Structure 1
Amino acid sequence: MSFICGLPILECVSCLACARWVWKKCLYTAGYESENWGLATLEEFEPIPRICRTILAVYEDDIRNPQWAPEGGYGINPDWIVLRKDYGDNQGRVTPYMIYLDHDRAEIILAVSGLNLGKESDYAVLLDNKLGQTEFHGGYVHNGLLKAAAWVFDAECEVLRKLIADNPTYMLTFIGHSLGAGVVALLTMLALHNRDKLGIQRDKIKCYAIAPARCMSLNLAVRYADVINSIVLQDDFLPRTTTGLESAFKSLLCWPCLLCLMCLKDTFIMEEKKLRDPRRLYAPGRLYHIVERKPFRFGRFPPVVRTAVPVDGRFDHIVLSCNATADHAILWIESESRRALDLMLEKDQHTKIPPEQKMVRQESLAREHSEEYRAALQRAVALDIPRAYSPSSYGTFHEIDVEEDSEKSSGKGSSLSHKKRSESWNEFVEHMFDVDDTGHMVFKKTTL
């Protein structure tokens, strides 16, 4: 009898708890995540609108007769396009991409588009999450995206090597959107670990991931923040969702249910458990967050761009917002990033900073990024993030491999270090590919 009398009280407590959760989630906005981050400068944010337009150009069937060009066009010279590959050329292993030689800005650009749901293609490898995460150079990465990145690297390594040899002063820039952003983030890591095959220095490699998928563990996301940059617009769902990518894209008609379930899951997982889970994936590198809406206010406001190399609070919570999917569209990202850049330019022209002071400001920005980067690595160590290591000088991981450092600090023999250092790209490919009866290379069905 006493148990039956207690049921109404239990129901009231449960209802109050659920109401409190819903209230907190409705009040939670994307602006809270980056409110303590620093403001991005004109110099560091200047390439973003141009990069978005270059990625948009990959979607065009005929770049000389564009059908979807944004305001002002794509800003690229069709004669400088080295190659373009569509789904048929890629055998469904990766989304369309192109290599563009930008002589005006001294850049070799490899641009990868996002997933085009209107195209019929084999997305088995790109979206494959059944095999979970793959261990890669001291961390974990998304298995399907790594396979796609490895396919691109193996297919275009010789082309990139020749372009770099012919243009030794040019930057090698990887850019992509959505799943393509996850591919280029992992492709950048492959390029960094195989610089001898490309014939390029580390400081000549850069990556811009627009609305990226969560594709690497936290220690890798922080470690490569000096090379990889991620750009996220307000409430974008993909950099926040940890669900399997294949399931996510098969659930497009059930987004409200999916988002609510993911919110419940993320809300009731302890923060310490998230941070110390080595297989939990995150958005890569340094983050740029474009914020242009405010809570309890209608319409879009002048966009503000904030940047940081966060460790805890790294887009861990899905935002219940009607704009969660709209903010993922690259057209919106291009438009809002252009508005943000125009505001920065207006402010810069208003202050009339002399060229000498601009150079000093760029040097100061590099130092600030260096200090912030080192602080993020130290923060990762302090939080006991798995396989996080104390920082060396900014951008000098090419001098001493992180795995080698950890082995020395743990007292392991130098023979193991030498073995890891000597692992070649061909050995890596052997782990990922088999040869079928016809002599063609096919992806293995098992984990690496």
Structure 2
Amino acid sequence: MFLSAKHVATMAKPVLLRLASEQPTYAITVTGHSLGAGAAVLATIMMRNDADLANKNIRCFAVGSPPVLTKRMASVHRTVITSLVNNNDVVPRLSVVGLANYFEVCKAVHELPRARKMAIDLRMWKRARLDELELPDLTELEPSRLVLGGRILHMRTDKKFNTITKYWYHLYGGSTCCRGKEYVDKTYYLMEREPENFRKMKIRPGSFIDHVPQLYSAILKQILKRRMTDSKE
């Protein structure tokens, strides 16, 4: 990801300098989704640290980005970088510490007696007694934890989903079917969050579907359309 960001920043520099000289009032916006969002965040910081581009108006919109910055860097670039997170999207919650803890939980659950495993399957949490799981101490990994960049906007909804729909993606001439929840007709809102809200890695039914770029696009269109309507009224 770092090498990709460095390549983008290097290759784009002469083009951006030319365009900035032709349109000095224009801003430079860097964006991407998933790993591309992480690369966009890093490329933005590289370009802002470049002497030739330092005085340009450069900003970044990272959609479903994994954590790629330290807490200090995220705080410094808060006014430049905006990270968008859709509901329970798993990628913004990925980290070395989170993955290590998740694997330890899976290992501990695997070793549970059958009755407690069945209690988990049936969501009978009191019988499952998950708070009694013996997990190793992973605090030594905390200093290496990375966080989301800049200002974090969380796309949330309070509606419950009942409708199942299909999203088709064409990959290499074929198609893959992903079953997910119907989002487009639900009411979403943006909530500003802090990096600490995305520390724990949670795997939920919609965690992977929430990462799909088409959903991000549809939800953002809905939010912007509603805001434009409200502003006219």
Common fold, TM-score beyond 0.5?
A: yes
CA distance in 1, matches of 2:104, 2:79: 30
Corresponding residue for residue 332 of structure 1: 215
What pairs up with 1:14-413 in 2 under 5 angstroms? 145-194=1-50, 196-198=51-53, 201=55, 204-243=57-96, 261=103, 273=139, 277-294=142-159, 297-299=160-162, 300=183, 301-308=186-193, 310-311=194-195, 313-350=196-233
Task: Describe the shift of the 1:329–1:154 C-alpha distance in structure 2 as closer, same or farther (beyond 3 A).
Answer: same
Secondary structure of the equivalent of 1:155? helix
What code does the residue aligned with 1:303 have? Answer: Y
Secondary structure of the equivalent of 2:5? helix
Residue 233 (structure 1) shift? 0.4
Residue 260 (structure 1) shift? 5.0
Residue 158 (structure 1) shift? 1.3
What code does the residue aligned with 1:279 have? Answer: S
CA distance in 2, matches of 1:270, 1:228: 33
CA distance in 2, matches of 1:160, 1:178: 24
Secondary structure of the equivalent of 1:290? strand
Structure-1-length-normalised TM-score: 0.37
Secondary structure of the equivalent of 1:197? coil
Secondary structure of the equivalent of 1:175? strand
8 Å Cα contact 1:212/1:283 also seen in 2: yes
Secondary structure of the equivalent of 2:44? helix
Q: Percent identity?
A: 23
CA distance in 2, matches of 1:162, 1:280: 38
Count of paired positions: 184
Any idea what the Cα deviations from partners look like across 1:400-442, whole Å, max 9, x if unmatched? xxxxxxxxxxxxxxxxxxxxxxxxxxxxxxxxxxxxxxxxxxx
- Structure with higher Rg: it is 1
CA distance in 2, matches of 1:318, 1:172: 33
CA distance in 2, matches of 1:208, 1:269: 37
8 Å Cα contact 1:291/1:305 also seen in 2: yes
Secondary structure of the equivalent of 1:278? helix
Task: Describe the shift of the 1:262–1:220 C-alpha distance in structure 2 as closer, same or farther (beyond 3 A).
Answer: farther
Any idea what the Cα deviations from partners look like across 1:11-70, whole Å, max 9, x if unmatched? xxxxxxxxxxxxxxxxxxxxxxxxxxxxxxxxxxxxxxxxxxxxxxxxxxxxxxxxxxxx
What code does the residue aligned with 2:39 have? Answer: V
CA distance in 1, matches of 2:205, 2:86: 14
8 Å Cα contact 1:260/1:320 also seen in 2: no
Any idea what the Cα deviations from partners look like across 1:59-93, whole Å, max 9, x if unmatched? xxxxxxxxxxxxxxxxxxxxxxxxxxxxxxxxxxx
CA distance in 2, matches of 1:193, 1:227: 13
CA distance in 2, matches of 1:337, 1:330: 11
Structure-2-length-normalised TM-score: 0.69
Higher relative contact order (CA 8 A, sep 6+): 2
CA distance in 2, matches of 1:214, 1:178: 10
Residue 332 (structure 1) shift? 0.5
CA distance in 1, matches of 2:67, 2:225: 29
Any idea what the Cα deviations from partners look like across 1:100-150, whole Å, max 9, x if unmatched? xxxxxxxxxxxxxxxxxxxxxxxxxxxxxxxxxxxxxxxxxxxxx222111
What code does the residue aligned with 2:55 have? Answer: Q
Query: Structure 1: which 5+ residue stretches go unaligned?
Result: 1-144, 249-257, 351-448
Secondary structure of the equivalent of 2:8? helix
Any idea what the Cα deviations from partners look like across 1:173-196, whole Å, max 9, x if unmatched? 1011100000010001001110x2
